Amino acid sequence: MNKRDALKRFALAGVAAASVVLVAACSPKSSSPKFQGIDVTGADYAKDLPLPDQDGKQRSMKDFAGKVVVVFFGYTQCPDVCPTTMSELAEVKRSLGEDGNRLQGVFVTVDPERDTPEVLKAYMANFDPTFVGLTGTPEQLAAVAKDFKIYYKKVDGKTPTSYTMDHSAGSYVYDPKGRLRVYHRYGSGAQALQADVKALLAE
């Protein structure tokens, strides 16, 4: 091999190496946003919500295509965790201005006995009238909760109707393509959620 051929091969190898670097730099993994919550991109659970809403309309994740969706499981008589979470979500939506129209809040009850469609509708209106409340039969909700890895249990009160519900406290955040991307633990705060919603809207 003469000197000219050697230099030519060296130059081609350099171009190939540079191409690999460029491809790596443009790969989805390296361009993914750094989330404030727990990055669960690629998770094989919590894929859909086949439940009726407060108006009796059957819902699924496809209904919210093009929006960032935040899903929370709770119950309307929850004294602290649930109203705090929903208030923070409403705060985030307001803070986004016009982009708030691309954020969908979804509340799934774990207490279908007391959370009738009418109760859910009134509860959603307390935070944002565009938020969707989902319910279903105990069997339907148990199946969805299992898919979402949600824990909930009835805790008896002094009377048959004064019981409370122990339940998982966290929010699932989906990108506009309907893919689960982030999990926010209760207590993360509105600012962290806002940052992640903005990052997903900007993708």
**Residue 26 is labelled as binding a ligand:** no
| 184 labelled binding-site residue | no
3-state SS record for 26-92: CCHHHHCCCCCCEECCCCCCCCCCCEEECCCCEECHHHHCCCEEEEEEECCCCCCHHHHHHHHHHHH
Check the annotation: does 82 bind a ligand.
yes
Q: Is 148 helix (H, G, I), strand (E, B) or coil?
A: coil
Tell me the backbone φ, ψ of residue 154, rounded to 5 degrees: -75, 135
Residues 166, 156: Cα–Cα separation, whole Å: 11
> Residues within the annotated binding site for Cu cation?
78, 82, 167
> Residues within the annotated binding site?
78, 82, 167
